[in-house]
Structure 1
């Protein structure tokens, strides 16, 4: 589930060619060191809005028939509600919910900052949202300033930090936005323009691409040589000549 329903932002993924093995090894080591320090996998991407043409397409209004609610839609929804309400007991619903939770082992959270950078971190679904705020306190450039996180649309500030990621609806992943909580009238240009992440965290930008680019690719097995077997020549046999048979009644 993605908590953000707004127009998606594209990740600028740089392509690396001819990555030196030593450079790839250094990138992996740096990512591993960050995971060891912060206790979770961390990635940094650069984001950019969609092109204006895509935005214009998204603003195009649908025809009235698109929103028409048919009788078939009504009966299908009511049938689903009746099944959930009457055919499933509370224990069955709870068992199904536990089964769904057990199948999901991680929540990938992307925090987007106003300077077009995205921090991606991996959490366990049972962790509290407070753990995300604790991580942000360690990686943002100005932890002394108050800040808040929110989802959009509509813009909704995340206030209940005691919920786990699964209950909050942030599983298997979510997009969350970051903003400094600057009082109105206080024009803090530095806080608005960034940088929002520490230099140490920004140095992780693009490292996962270097490590992926250097992954050894298993060569496809060479096709087995086709040995042409000569077609056996079948000798054409002539039909045997029949010897004349002497009838028994013929006496010479």
Structure 2
């Protein structure tokens, strides 16, 4: 079937994205348990520094760590800060992310690039690179821009996705009004 997706954009209504909580001063007091945990962490870091690892060992450890992730969430962020997100199997290729991003573009025929930051690293549109062999696991923001100038001029996202965002915002506003009023 079709890939499940979500789309959105930053809130412009001044709504708070974060909730701040009040804590009393006891929260900041250091306890004996805190000191023991810090000392154990320091000893682990020191032991890790002592252990010289070959590139092959580091690669095997990385593969073991990443093998726990069967899939990954990729959010494609457009220059106007609208975004679309979906889950991909870690065995899928970068070309699958490109195909997904292309399906969301207002002009799917126009050449575009996907990249990660910082520092900027272009992602190749290739079948040869599986997601598990990239730095995108377990989740990543991937930026999109046009391959040829003007790179930052939109519209970027197809109307059906913009409509979905606007419907979601309208629904959220109605919920906030009924809960707050």
What interval of TM-score do these two structures reach, taking the shorter chain for normalisation?
0.5 to 0.7
Bigger Rg, which one: 1
Q: Deviations over 1:25-53 (max 9, x none)?
A: xxxxxxxxxxx4xx31111111269x9xx
Structure 2 counterparts to residues 124-139 of structure 1, below 5 A: 124-139=89-104
* In structure 1, distance between residues paired with 2:11 and 2:119: 20
Scaled by the length of structure 1, the TM-score of the pair is 0.47
* 1:41 maps to 2:1: no
| Shift in Å, 1:151 | 1.2
The 8 Å contact of residues 44 and 206 in structure 1, kept in 2 or not, is answered as no
* In structure 1, distance between residues paired with 2:141 and 2:93: 16
Q: Deviations over 1:139-166 (max 9, x none)?
A: 2011222111111112221236332222
Equivalent residue for 2:164, pick from 204, 217, 224: 204
| Shift in Å, 1:135 | 1.3
The 8 Å contact of residues 46 and 116 in structure 1, kept in 2 or not, is answered as yes
Q: Deviations over 1:155-181 (max 9, x none)?
A: 221236332222101111001111001
The 8 Å contact of residues 66 and 137 in structure 2, kept in 1 or not, is answered as no
Matched with 1:159 is 124
Matched with 1:55 is none
- Between the two structures, name the one with larger relative contact order (CA 8 Å, sep ≥ 6): 1
Equivalent residue for 2:84, pick from 110, 116, 119: 119
Q: Residue 164 of structure 2 aligns to a residue in which SS?
A: coil
* 1:182 maps to 2:148: yes
| Shift in Å, 1:115 | 1.4
Q: Deviations over 1:31-87 (max 9, x none)?
A: xxxxx4xx31111111269x9xxxxxxxxxxxxxxxxxxxxx99865621444639x
Q: Residue 204 of structure 1 aligns to a residue in which SS?
A: helix
* In structure 2, distance between residues paired with 1:102 and 1:118: 27
Scaled by the length of structure 2, the TM-score of the pair is 0.63
Structure 1 unmatched runs, 5+:
1-35, 52-72, 215-252
| Shift in Å, 1:107 | 0.7
Structure 2 unmatched runs, 5+:
15-40, 176-181
Q: Deviations over 1:78-128 (max 9, x none)?
A: 621444639xx95xx848834x44432321111111112011111111111
Q: How many pairs are equivalent?
A: 144
Instruction: Please provide the CA RMSD for this pair.
Output: 3.8
Matched with 1:144 is 109
